[in-house]
Structure 1
Amino acid sequence: MKSKFPFNFKFPLIVVALIFFISCSEPQKDKAPWVSLFDGKTLNGWSSIKGGNAPYEVKDGAIVGTTVHDTPNTFLTTDKIYDDFILELDYKVDPSMNSGIQIRSNSVPNYKSGVVHGYQIEIDPSERAWSAGIYDEQRSGWLFPLTDNKKAQEAFKQNDWNNYRIEAIGDTIKTWINGVPAAHLIDDKTDSGFIALQVHSINEDAAEGNEIMWKNIKILTEDMEKYSRETPVEPVNTKNNLTDAEKEAGWELLWDGESTEGWRGARLDAFPEEGWIIENGKLIVLSSGGAESAAGGDIVTEDVYGDFDLKFDFRLTERANSGVKYYVDTDINKGPGSSIGLEYQILDDQNHPDAKLGSQEGSRTVSSLYDLIQSDLNKPINPIGEWNSGRIISKNNHVEHWLNGVKVLEYERKSPEFRKLVSESKYAVWPNFGEAEKGHILLQDHGDRVAFKNIKIKSL
């Protein structure tokens, strides 16, 4: 019997199947829970301008920043603080300008008088073409230049709109420019802060009035792991490592983040078998009841140092006491207690009784020259459980202590003033205390759990 239909009934089924296949093959719309950071009409949510005086306004659906003379770098910052996020935006920059996007950045009065500092995703229309590289504004400088990423350098579009994707999740920051993977950084210096749009300062001979524009700014702060992208870019890991810039400047790692190489017990020929552990890139002195050098004991560098610049990160536990000593002679004081040397004090000032002791008032508080000189009362200290960065610079007997990027004290070794302080302190019994030409660097075991990492030194 012939079909009543003028065509084979299978035909519409094939058509339907084909339509279904095509629809499934089309790219699905991004269903991620994005939140817009710019409404296209106002600067709502971006109420603070920091640093300089370059103006920002909204024109034609974009935030526009304009260069002016006689002002430092200017930053338009978000009202909110962000830690982990995925950020996407478009920008268009005048070829004569340099700019960037700050992430996890901060401005606090006791850090360089409130200067904006933190990670910057570079905007670089110059021939260098490092757009989407990662710079550390007002801190460490370049962390991830695009020297070896030709594809990302070529992805920038001059005199046109460019798109950035920035992922900051945990200790990892990844960037893309116009869909091309650019940078991949592993760094745990800062885990939260504002986002900011930069108008860079200009030289006196540069024409003012050039513009940079941003639009389509959106952020994702939920389910980030679900929407995070893989990247083929080889990561740069700054944790217990040196950046290329640090290597060129002569820095050396004092601890490799994995082994005990380069260190020994202050009174041993080898590293202590107990009292210290290495865990997830941290060198940790364990709690043993608070006694001084009574468990594993202090550890010292195998090498000795004269003039130097020393950096280290430390993390305290509640009521903890420790220290970093320098110009240490391990042949002095073979009896109880620590080896003798000048000490950068590490202490929980709020809860440890030592904070109220010392031959000079306040001289046993964190970052002080132990028992001799109190550090700045307005020093920037992070809460217990968070990381802090210490630094000791000693050159031609001039010594400085730094805490979280701020110089908190300075003094002159061997000066009459220094010798007077020593004569009034617990160190008076040690002849020529603190005046050695060279000595070991020491991490103290004071019986409390304290962690160290990113220990590096440069001979001066």
Structure 2
Amino acid sequence: MRERALWVAAFTLALGLCAVAGEDEGFVPIFNGKDLTGWDGDPTFWSVRDGCIRGESTKEKPCKRNTFCIWRGNDAVKDGILKDFEMKVSFRIQNGNSGIQYRSQDCGNWVVRGYQAEVENAKGKVGFLYHEGGRGWLVNVGEKMVIHPDGKKEVVAKLGDKMELTKDYREKDWNHYRIVCRGNRIQHFLNGVQTIDLVDNQLNPIDLVKGRDEKKGALSGIFALQIHSGGPMVVEFKDIQLKLLAPEPEKK
């Protein structure tokens, strides 16, 4: 009887390990947990502490404009330009406002423009999609939206109530984003719950990296982390993992 119980326990553990391996299949870490190798940010504000990328502004060293820590790529993505991908990021913010940039344009001097997943201690708001330096607030939490070529926004369905979708958000504690970009479709998942779904038909050409029309979206671009201008703040990021996806036809 005891041997059978041990066998069942071992089998259950093996199944669990297989499930975890399946979930992480194809993902690779893009932050080594030790230093900012492969990353580029103003050292006044960005550092590595306790295995996390840490963004911090203080009264003595205020952040006067939004500044970003930019991922510069790896052997598979030499220029840091991502097209179709899935990204996992754990984050913790103590105060202030931050964001996770993707398919964005590097404007130099640690300035970035493009899509942003909101990072803020505010249920009902964290998880929405913002367009930094461009179209501004794009998709509210709970919306499934299509943006037409002329820029008109159409909410085609609701994913749920914004407060209900973000009820598991942990203020000043670790939370988890999963961002999926394939073709012109973008999805945010916060702590395993989908918060937005966007089909963007107002786009720049896929290979236009510099000189974009900032009032349009993008099918490719860089990945970066934000410190927002304003008062003192601290934000941390860890367990940053990337999975490259096969291209998919654009949706309408």
TM-score, structure 1 normalization: 0.40
Cα deviation for residue 168 of structure 1 reads 0.9
| Residues 1:44 and 2:34 aligned together | no
In structure 1, C-alpha distance between the alignment counterparts of 2:190 and 2:99, rounded to whole Å: 13
Alpha carbons of 1:108 and 1:98: their partners in 2 closer, same or farther (altered >3 Å)? closer
Unaligned runs of 5+ in 1: 1-10, 226-238, 240-279, 282-460
In structure 1, C-alpha distance between the alignment counterparts of 2:188 and 2:63, rounded to whole Å: 32
In structure 1, C-alpha distance between the alignment counterparts of 2:196 and 2:181, rounded to whole Å: 12
Q: Secondary structure at the match of 2:166?
A: helix
- When the two structures are aligned, how many residues end up with a matched partner? 205
% identity of equivalent residues:
30
Match for residue 190 of structure 2 among 144, 155, 177: 177
Larger radius of gyration: 1
In structure 2, C-alpha distance between the alignment counterparts of 1:54 and 1:134, rounded to whole Å: 27
Query: Deviation above 4 Å: which 4+ runs of structure 1?
Result: 11-21, 222-225
Q: Secondary structure at the match of 2:180?
A: strand
Alpha carbons of 1:54 and 1:185: their partners in 2 closer, same or farther (altered >3 Å)? farther
In structure 2, C-alpha distance between the alignment counterparts of 1:139 and 1:77, rounded to whole Å: 18
In structure 1, C-alpha distance between the alignment counterparts of 2:225 and 2:8, rounded to whole Å: 47
Q: Over residues 138-195 of structure 1, what are the superposed CA-to-partner deviations in whole Å (9 max), with x where a residue is unaligned?
A: 1111111126422223221112111111111111111111112211111142011111
Residue 144 of structure 1 aligns with which residue?
Answer: 139
Alpha carbons of 1:223 and 1:171: their partners in 2 closer, same or farther (altered >3 Å)? closer
Cα deviation for residue 30 of structure 1 reads 2.5
In structure 1, C-alpha distance between the alignment counterparts of 2:240 and 2:115, rounded to whole Å: 18
Q: Secondary structure at the match of 2:100?
A: strand
Q: How does 1:441-452 map to 2 (within 5 A)?
A: none
Identify the structure with bigger relative contact order (alpha carbons < 8 Å, sequence gap 6+): 2
Q: How does 1:240-319 map to 2 (within 5 A)?
A: none
Alpha carbons of 1:74 and 1:54: their partners in 2 closer, same or farther (altered >3 Å)? farther
Residue 214 of structure 2 aligns with which residue?
Answer: none
Match for residue 175 of structure 2 among 159, 162, 167: 162
In structure 2, C-alpha distance between the alignment counterparts of 1:26 and 1:195, rounded to whole Å: 32
Alpha carbons of 1:90 and 1:224: their partners in 2 closer, same or farther (altered >3 Å)? farther
In structure 2, C-alpha distance between the alignment counterparts of 1:199 and 1:12, rounded to whole Å: 56
Unaligned runs of 5+ in 2: 73-79, 143-160, 202-216
In structure 2, C-alpha distance between the alignment counterparts of 1:21 and 1:157, rounded to whole Å: 33
Q: Over residues 261-291 of structure 1, what are the superposed CA-to-partner deviations in whole Å (9 max), with x where a residue is unaligned?
A: xxxxxxxxxxxxxxxxxxx86xxxxxxxxxx
Question: Letter of the aligned partner of 1:214 in structure 2?
Answer: F
Q: Over residues 373-403 of structure 1, what are the superposed CA-to-partner deviations in whole Å (9 max), with x where a residue is unaligned?
A: xxxxxxxxxxxxxxxxxxxxxxxxxxxxxxx
| Residues 1:34 and 2:45 aligned together | no
Cα deviation for residue 20 of structure 1 reads 7.9
Cα deviation for residue 60 of structure 1 reads 0.6
Cα deviation for residue 19 of structure 1 reads 6.0
Residue 102 of structure 2 aligns with which residue?
Answer: 103
Alpha carbons of 1:20 and 1:172: their partners in 2 closer, same or farther (altered >3 Å)? same
Maintained 8 Å contact 1:97/1:200: yes
Residue 125 of structure 2 aligns with which residue?
Answer: 130
Q: Over residues 279-337 of structure 1, what are the superposed CA-to-partner deviations in whole Å (9 max), with x where a residue is unaligned?
A: x86xxxxxxxxxxxxxxxxxxxxxxxxxxxxxxxxxxxxxxxxxxxxxxxxxxxxxxxx
| Residues 1:195 and 2:185 aligned together | no
| Residues 1:213 and 2:236 aligned together | yes
